[in-house]
Chain A
């Protein structure tokens, strides 16, 4: 079970409060977590990754275990603590704008 923390706008969009808990079908990676998240909450499709390129949006970052994983390859294994559910996978909107 993977725990995912979404930024406020995406929680509102998906109608969820607090963490999202996901069962993933395979070794936990960024791609699998986001794919699973979008399958469960179709309204989130395209909000974290550009649909044209599949790449993380510039103002979206991924954190876990006090590490910035944003530049990790999407198919790299996530830390064991994320895979086990001990630590959440954080989707963070960049602090910017007015």
Chain B
């Protein structure tokens, strides 16, 4: 029988939540790497037993863990992320040049076709690739070497490359997002890059045509229609119908268009999910009511989903990498909160129930749909 495996990264370890296709009874394993920050775990769609995890802390730095048996056992692989050549500088918060310094891996994106190939988005912003199952990592320096690189500035959370989206149809096309530089696209497998931020407008950026400087929080696409991208920006929910060449706002009737995650239904390319957050100075839901908003028509018109979610006294956040969907016939939607809850919906968001309620703050949620 088919099933799902939900991979949860938290501030104090990783957890693996498993269920059969009914998604009613859950087995919880973990914490794996107890006490460490697990920014992200993600499984290979080419080999679901292969999972990569980013393990780090302020004391002992970065480790990459790999499982070859679906998360039961793990072993450390390569953890040296050396910038290509002389790292150079980017802009610091005060506008002065600051050397690029590796801090941690925010996001791991396995290749859809080769379990040994995986991309890593890191802070300070750069993209690395491994073709040997994570044993060694090489930077794709064309991104950081873009003419605008020296002008990139960190957001409040650091200058992190947190989003990697691989185009399933166009060979060599990939998208990344960096806080607070913006979105970038490569059409040649990561050799060269260009900013794709036309149409993004942010208070505090006086130049309406600013090529970089945008605080993109997340980008999502549907596999069947990779030219259509959805973006949760710092403020504003955006949509592009031309692979990022231009963007238009689709925040519509959202109660607030600040937020972090955004995701697309597995079978309906125009069904999109966001979690509105009150403001960038108050990182919790409006009115203390945790609501996922769903658009069935690709943005602009949004419907609150509240069944099973706390509708009073709820002041958690949902971070950018903490939402995912499964690909079962009735699409499952999952998200984790900074309060340690992981919620699941087995009916595309109509109703929700917590899988776990007392984990450490959740940093990331991914889901694997198993045969």
Contacts and interface: CB of A to CB of B under 8 A. Distances in A.
A93 B296 CA distance: 51
A50 B104 CA distance: 12
Contacts of B75: 43
B59 A93 contact: yes
Contact of B60 (A47, A52, A96): A47
B102 A52 contact: yes
B82 A47 contact: no
A97 B58 contact: yes
B79 interface: yes
Contacts of A59: 58-59
Interface string B91-124: 0000000000110000000000000000000000
Interface string A21-46: 00000000000000000000001011
B61 A50 contact: yes
A46 B61 contact: yes
Interface in B56-102: 57-63, 75-76, 79-83, 101-102
A57 B60 contact: yes
Interface string B291-315: 0000000000000000000000000
A96 B60 CA distance: 13
Interface residues of A, number: 19
A9 B61 contact: no
B79 A57 contact: no
B142 interface: no
A49 to B, nearest CB: 9
B58 A48 contact: no
A57 B57 CA distance: 11
B141 to A, nearest CB: 15
A60 B59 contact: yes
A48 B57 CA distance: 12
Contact of A46 (B36, B62, B83, B101): B62
A9 B35 contact: yes
A9 B58 contact: no
Contacts of B102: 52
Contacts of A45: 79-80
Interface of B: 35-36, 57-63, 75-76, 79-83, 101-102
7 contacts: A13-B63, A45-B79, A46-B63, A48-B60, A51-B61, A57-B59, A59-B58
Interface of A: 7, 9-10, 13, 43, 45-48, 50-52, 57, 59-60, 93-94, 96-97
- A-B complex: 3 closest residue pairs judged by Cβ atoms: A47-B60, A43-B76, A59-B59
